[in-house]
Amino acid sequence: MRILIALTLLIGSSSAFAATECTKADKSTWQDQEKFQAQLKEQGYKINKFKVTKGNCYEIYGFDKEGRKVEIYHDPVTGKAVKTEYHK
């Protein structure tokens, strides 16, 4: 019984650490990273760090057009924001 409870807790807690998933599309369909960043900058974003995540997202760290510190995960195919986190 203890093992069953421990396994249930382990499985339930692992989903909290799951990476944000953005796409399963082939990388040949993704937007060009440089062009994507340029588009965001044209919209008023300041990008301090850009990376591709394990969940196939374009992730940026920086500031949005209102000057708020953000971490945003984008779908690299559509460019749409999948998840946005604001930081102080």
Asked whether residue 69 is domain-assigned, the answer is yes
As a dihedral over the C-alpha atoms of residue 28, residue 33, residue 35, residue 40, rounded to 10 degrees, the angle is: 130
pLDDT computed for residue 43 by the predictor: 96
Q: Determine the structural domain holding residue 62 and report its residue range.
A: 19-87
Asked whether residue 54 is domain-assigned, the answer is yes
Asked whether residue 6 is domain-assigned, the answer is no
Asked whether residue 10 is domain-assigned, the answer is no
Measured CA to CA, the distance from residue 86 to residue 71 in angstroms comes to 6
Asked whether residue 59 is domain-assigned, the answer is yes
Number of domains comprising the chain: 1
pLDDT computed for residue 4 by the predictor: 47
What's the predicted TM-score (pTM) here? 0.78
Asked whether residue 32 is domain-assigned, the answer is yes
pLDDT computed for residue 19 by the predictor: 82
Residues 6+ apart with CB under 8 A from 14: none
**Per-residue pLDDT in tens (0 to 9) along the chain, 88 residues:** 555 454 455 444 444 456 899 999 999 999 999 999 999 999 999 999 999 999 999 999 999 999 999 999 999 999 999 999 999 8
Asked whether residue 12 is domain-assigned, the answer is no
- CA 29 to chain CA centroid, Å, is 18
Measured CA to CA, the distance from residue 55 to residue 59 in angstroms comes to 10
- Phi, psi (rounded to 5 degrees) for 50: -130, 135
CATH of residue 69's domain is 3.10.450
